[in-house]
Amino acid sequence: MRLSRYYLPILKENPKEAEIVSHRLMLRTGMIRQQSQGIYSWLPLGKRVLDKVNRIIREEQDRSGAIELLMPTLQSAELWQESGRYDAYGKEMLRIKDRQDRPMLYGPTNEEMITDIFRSTVKSYKSLPLNLYHIQLKFRDEIRPRFGTMRSREFLMKDAYSFDLTREGAEHSYNKMFTAYLRTFARMGLRAIPMRADTGPIGGNLSHEFIILADTGESEVFCHRDFVNFDIPAEDTDFDDVGGLKKIFDQWTSVYAATSEMHDEAAFDAIPEGERLSARGIEVGHIFYFGTKYSEAMGAKVQGPDGKEHIVHMGSYGIGPTRLVPAIIEASHDENGIIWPASVAPFDVVVINMKAGDEACDKACEEIYAALTRAGKDVLYDDTDDRAGQKFATADLIGVPTQIIVGPRSIAQGEVEVKDRKTGARDTMTVEAAINRVNG
């Protein structure tokens, strides 16, 4: 992408309305724009990051055996009347009427709809286990939308829903998602701590919130300090290995499980004083086993191996991609701007032409740009005639992991400078070596 032809509406000044660093940086870099309270457009730079986040989520959901579909944002009120949540949901639900005066709503979540899909299509235990997910916009009329897309009214959610014949089966489905979540967040350069969460009035349920440590977070987490060092499951984890996944789950949840103090003060008190970690954090995911709550109310059952009908056991599993993007920025930035982990960076590399119009500079930049693009890299080429200082500031601000700086003096020696955004380290090398460094 040539910057001269790109759309990158950078703000020079810090926007006054932004209270936290991620919100400030997302506005300054032109990643997002507020359209009305708590409702955002994702501008091209932001959209690139969001797409990369979604791709990681998708890959890990697919790896765990979940299957993607797409449900609509608008739902009929009828389904929610069946489950009893139409009245219970309250003012967070945006209610709409269509031209026939039929009550509709903008979905805040999809348990009812997926249960409806399930009950009308799945009849036998042989189709189980089943986990269906989508990545779709949700709407919740939050009392206090704030911090940009961290807590917005319209937001993207990956929501998965599992169906099993038995409670044991459902626990394995839960452990699959638990494992997939550990991998998902780790691939984004994040350490997410699974925190035991409230499960509401129905006993025997299982729930974890995944929390990224950050001072600006709205959640509190209490755990053993070793939690930040636990192993992340490997890519070749066998998701059909019931015992293996249980072991992963146990490592993270048995001893000194992370908890919100509200949930279980005793668990925290059991940890030796010098080994306690109490911190604030951002909830980026939430997994939930709720048994037969919706399947019972909505008649989702299958024929079992015994020939009888069984109400299915369900779980639901959410991740907030539009919250993850600011969460990653909260975890990775400095005074000059964002520092993207390579896996979610909007571009892999930015080529900075310090003197656009200079024959040697242009030629070298074009060569690097073409070679890296050919190699499948996402390349931003700053071919504008801005001042060099301005270009450096922009490159640092938008946080692309590697910068290749091409200036008239060094290119006369056949050399360019390669700068690592994270460490600030600069190395001088030949054009070819610079290309190899990025490709390597």
Point out which residues bind ligand ATP (CB under 6 A).
140, 142, 151-152, 155, 157, 283-286, 318-320, 322-323
In the complex, minimum distance from the CB of residue 190 to ligand ATP, in angstroms, rounded to a whole number:
12
Cα(114)–Cα(117) distance, integer angstroms: 5
Closest to ligand ATP by CB, 1 vs 135, is: 135
The radius of gyration computed from the CA coordinates of the chain, to the nearest angstrom, equals 25
Can you say how many angstroms the Cα of residue 197 is from the centroid of all Cα atoms in its chain? 19
Q: Nearest distance from residue 149's CB to ligand ATP, in Å?
A: 6
CB neighbours of 384 closer than 8 A, spacing ≥ 6? 3, 4, 356, 391
Residue nearest to ligand ATP (CB): 320
**Residue among 175 and 322 whose Cβ is closer to ligand ATP:** 322
CB of residue 316 vs ligand ATP: minimum separation in angstroms? 8
- Strands 130-139 and 67-68, how do they pair? parallel
Kindly tell me which of 52 and 310 has the beta carbon lying closer to ligand ATP: 52
Q: How far is the CB of 353 from ligand ATP (least distance, A)?
A: 38
What is the token pair recorded at 16? 């006054």
Cα–Cα dist 253/248, whole Å: 9
- Residue 142 or residue 220: which is nearer to ligand ATP going by CB? 142
CB atoms within 10 A of CB 372: 22
Using the minimum distance from each CB to ligand ATP, give the nearer residue, 142 or 366.
142
- Residue 158 CB, shortest distance to ligand ATP, in Å, is 8
> How much helix, strand and coil, in percent to the nearest 5, is found in the chain?
40, 30, 35
Helix (H) or strand (E) holding 160: strand 154-164
Nearer of residues 263 and 323 to ligand ATP, judged by Cβ: 323
Closer CB to ligand ATP, residue 320 or residue 399?
320
Minimum distance from CB of 199 to ligand ATP (Å)?
Answer: 12
Residue 330 CB, shortest distance to ligand ATP, in Å, is 13
Helix spans in 332-382 (H): 359-374
Quick count: other Cβ atoms within 10 Å of Cβ 86? 17
Distance CA 147, CA 153 (A): 11
